[in-house]
Chains A and B, each alone.
Chain A
């Protein structure tokens, strides 16, 4: 079983002390990426729920830079301490409440006073839930508690704040202040330099008229910046001069004129507002010397403000809303996390993008608003790729087995403005059975009835390049009506597109043998035939596996056609609701159809008898048929599961059920309960040989791939017979673990041909981290160090590597 497709941008990442590794919270694990290659080098496994914070223990001396320890906090209520070089779990602290955010203020000062006895290390955690069960469950679920990490327990009686929902805690770079934002106010606490369990906290509040979305502390001065939902950035100077200074109210002047912009009697000298962002600010960050402020938001533009003058510099066209900005200990490196599940590493003063680490594209929050804008995730049967239509009119190809992005194809050449209302979208993607042809449909929504457009595009895949190039564009293939389905014929170059406008069109690829000379043959797709049945909307289409029969769902009936001669063969059945999915089961004569709506139905039809075999009242989100045998899998939303099987009523937390059927038998072969089934996809995928020899010797040819609504996926063997919950993977195989093994050899002698990994960023064998290699052999040959010195360095690096690999 393989899982993957996790979000890299659920929480801010963290750099290691040498800035050569980046720790990213990916679901239940923390993934370690190399910043020089952008590839994954390790993973910290152990948390039982989503990891929300990762804090690297900073190095106070240059010698301790090699130390690789970090603290992580997770929604499963534990705080863990890791050595992420090994990787190895060192300690676990149980909090028992989901932790949404954690900061450790004194983490950097820990090593300073090393007089034999370390002071206790305290963390502040933002947890969900609490002991006040007698109160209303809705109010104050978010609480900030203090935790003694050294003694592995919570500090009793210290609850800094109670809020309606848990958010994130912001800490100042010096560790002196922590702050949170809640609705229209900021709360800031001063953390005493020598923290102990019993300590009073001074608190100030800053008010604003709009809800805050982000806040940041200046590294040296008493300056606090905060962004709000309208895109304004507020900067308070001299924050907490009254409260946090030791002398009690030295000379307080309460005059409003002397404190421009400060509301009520907030404790600040002045407040200024900058407004450039047109939508909510997500990122605020002061540069380490405190002279610049970085801000970013929905527009996907990183703005650098000069703090004194307010002058701006921009890094435009990042392509998606920005979420986090993190600086590394190396001042020339920082990272931006953007909402399209991509972390980009920036070289700092010039702000150029060095590398990008991208995961599977996340479903857009407002993509499914419109009718007919399906989730559109398509799995390719043969190649094991998943095609995800993205918000910026592209299709991302993501390898299921490697858990890595393969390529992206720009479907529609239009400038994407992140944060805008979506009016153009790639909403259908289909592949031919051999994966060589792709077909996409993009839709432009009309403005008050003007200018809607559907365009159907056919893409051809080059033999070697594996890159899709545009072959044919058809504007408005079905006049003004939308396309409901595209299906490719398993044999031969034929496709069918069915439309809600009441007709379907059969497209054929023109067979023109290209002549030897330079004449470019226009080998495009042309319309071969048009068919309609009683002017009913055609809602789904499918070819039989031998390509001889075309089944088109005309709203509630299934019409069968001869695709070559375009003759209506027969009409089958009558369902209660319009059929949304139609599929031939393997090489058998059976068709499975699914209809949704108020009377959902999953029906099995026999083509030889032209009648219904069996049917279920089941809301099928997706149907996948095995290519080889007569089984098929159904992803059903379980809000109707009670009526179907009484056993599942007990499992209320599951949202969906995957059922595996055989055609003849209406009793499912096996059942799996899954979550986030809404908008999910299901497909049988031919397992590649790599999977076979690594997972099980007798793996069947096909594995079932399930992608949930959040674009997380799992691959498992449907015939293994393990019924029950789809659990966390037992083992993961990232390709980079291979890479660390062949580190010494390949770096000298080049890559061996049988390590055929699809590395698209680097053509040469890439090293997971910048080792002594680069420094040893860089430079011209005459300036290399003498051989004895070189040799010892060389061997030393090898030994280092080996020991790391063994542990």
Chain B
């Protein structure tokens, strides 16, 4: 017994890009939350120089822009406050390891320390002769010191409580623009400079200069420690390079997929997805070319890439893997939020739940005298080991399929034309061709139905996907129905539109041919070499 098949359009070609990996699904799932879409703070008007997340939940973050910084709530993603206490543009911000203090460097060379909650200005660390472009608290446990790097090519190690510089670290020969503290040690940190060098410092051996020196070969824009503390990633020029610190500063890999200067790096984490990518770290890099790329430094492979309309300056990723923020030169903040439980909700729920005593209503035993007895178990979910017997999927027949089954060809064509899905229309036309009934259908159409067809042909006959069939069909339709077209005003309008579209298409084709004519000799020459 033969099965019946509905009329199906041709398959679309699927490239490897369109089948998303779980990881690209993960990175795509960072979406702008609907409730903050309208707030004006998304646009801060000035370039966003730096973004920094608090290491403590709920992971508030600050963005520095012009002579101020704005703190955003990690829960609602709305701006909490803006501090404009600077005499020049703020350049860099860093949270202390407990998230209570915030250090911000500005272009006058001063490093300001604020209370992150009450925004009280606590300390001013003055000492840089030029702009303090980089500030960084140690990340492990040290709460009393911080590092800063300045355009005077000096890296300073500060004691915050006394507002004193403990010592200067000399060695860079150009602006120090970036740096990072080691995630495992309070004494180790790196700084990157425009003299193409990245230096690794250890405050325990401060007088000996840098512990290690790496040559990035481009002005270094950003440098970060990878979570193990043994690898660092540097960005400068179009490159992102991975270095092995333990192995004596060996270059492991150079990623060269950005087209313009890479401005910022940060660590990302693939969290809370199933599969082998779960809880793996990634390097997020943003560049002036508007791309954010996700780099898997275990496989040395770009796993995701996303384009933004503006040049990107800074990037931040919350430690709980829920928020991803990107700042641009235009002052726009792209805040992406994944759907997921914020941990604080958890806590709140638990607190509430403590007081309530669970009081399940006693369910009466079902007996065959109840109506529900006969419906029991319908919502039962199969357990893991159960063998599922699936009900065969019912084939859905749309209107045109039913009409085609009854051999009512013209009605099927009109029905599918009314549905305005070009793929299905072409599929039905192809089926009619296979039955050798298409031209008969065309010649039987009423004026209104012919109008419908002409509208369709005008719209789609120049689309490459359908052009093979539709251009020839348009020709035939005009041939077959010339009399009717002449007599109807609307049809004449359709013909005019069709003619215009065809002329446009011919122009495009000609210019394409011209381009091909220009290119093909070049390719010949290139092939010869």
List residues of chain A with CB under 8 Å of any chain B CB: 317-319, 353, 392, 410, 413-416, 420-421, 423-424, 444-451, 453, 473, 475-476, 480, 515-520, 522
Contacts and interface: CB of A to CB of B under 8 A. Distances in A.
Interface string B424-440: 00000111111111110
Contact of B434 (A353, A414, A515): A414
Nearest to B11: A473
B486 interface: no
Contact of B438 (A420, A450, A476, A519): A450
8 contacts: A414-B5, A415-B2, A415-B5, A421-B436, A423-B435, A444-B430, A473-B11, A517-B275
Nearest to A417: B435
B383 interface: no
B319 interface: no
Contacts of B276: 515-517
Interface string B1-26: 11111001011001010010110000
B473 interface: yes
B473 A450 contact: yes
B22 A413 contact: no
Interface of B: 1-5, 8, 10-11, 14, 16, 19, 21-22, 275-276, 405, 429-439, 468-469, 472-473, 476
A520 to B, nearest CB: 7
Given A451-B438, A451-B472, 9 more contacts: A414-B5, A423-B435, A444-B430, A444-B433, A450-B438, A450-B439, A517-B22, A517-B275, A517-B276
A309 B16 CA distance: 62
B435 A451 contact: no
Given A517-B275, A518-B275, A447 B433 contact: yes
A451 B427 CA distance: 11
A298 to B, nearest CB: 15
A317 B4 CA distance: 9
Contact of B469 (A317, A450, A516, A522): A450
B396 to A, nearest CB: 14
A416 B1 CA distance: 11
A515 B476 CA distance: 51
Contacts of B16: 522
A84 to B, nearest CB: 30
Contacts of A450: 433, 438-439, 469, 472-473, 476
A444 B434 contact: yes
Contacts of B430: 444, 451, 453
Nearest to A476: B468
A447 B436 contact: yes
Contact of B8 (A410, A413, A421, A453): A413
B273 to A, nearest CB: 10
Contacts of B2: 317-319, 392, 415-416
Given A444-B430, A518-B275, A415 B19 contact: no
A571 to B, nearest CB: 22
B434 A448 contact: no
Contacts of A353: 1
A447 B473 CA distance: 10
Contact of A519 (B1, B8, B22, B429): B22
Among B10, B431, B437, B468, find the residue whose CB has the most chain A CB atoms closer than 10 A.
Answer: B468
Given A319-B2, A392-B2, A449 B472 contact: yes
A476 B14 CA distance: 16
Q: Identify the 7 closest CB pairs spanning chains A and B, nearest first.
A: A451-B433, A319-B2, A413-B5, A517-B275, A450-B472, A447-B433, A317-B2
Given A415-B4, A518-B275, A424 B472 contact: no
A449 B472 CA distance: 8
Given A448-B439, A522-B16, A475 B10 contact: yes
Among B21, B429, B433, B469, find the residue whose CB has the most chain A CB atoms closer than 10 A.
Answer: B433
A208 B437 CA distance: 33
Nearest to B431: A414
A518 B405 contact: no
B434 A423 contact: yes
A418 B39 CA distance: 66
Nearest to B429: A451
A516 B1 CA distance: 40
Contacts of A517: 22, 275-276
Contacts of A317: 1-2, 4
A447 B439 contact: yes
A254 to B, nearest CB: 44
A520 B19 contact: yes
Among A392, A447, A449, find the residue whose CB has the most chain B CB atoms closer than 10 A.
Answer: A447
B387 to A, nearest CB: 16
B238 to A, nearest CB: 29
Given A444-B430, A448-B476, A420 B435 contact: yes
B445 to A, nearest CB: 16
Given A520-B19, A522-B14, A447 B438 contact: yes
A71 B299 CA distance: 78
B444 to A, nearest CB: 15
A645 B204 CA distance: 103
Contacts of B476: 448, 450
B392 to A, nearest CB: 15
A416 B476 CA distance: 27
Among A410, A415, A517, find the residue whose CB has the most chain B CB atoms closer than 10 A.
Answer: A415
A392 B2 CA distance: 9
A582 B192 CA distance: 68
Nearest to B15: A522
B288 to A, nearest CB: 33
Nearest to A475: B10
A424 B22 contact: no
A518 B438 contact: no
Nearest to A518: B275
A413 B405 CA distance: 14
A516 B437 CA distance: 50
A320 to B, nearest CB: 9
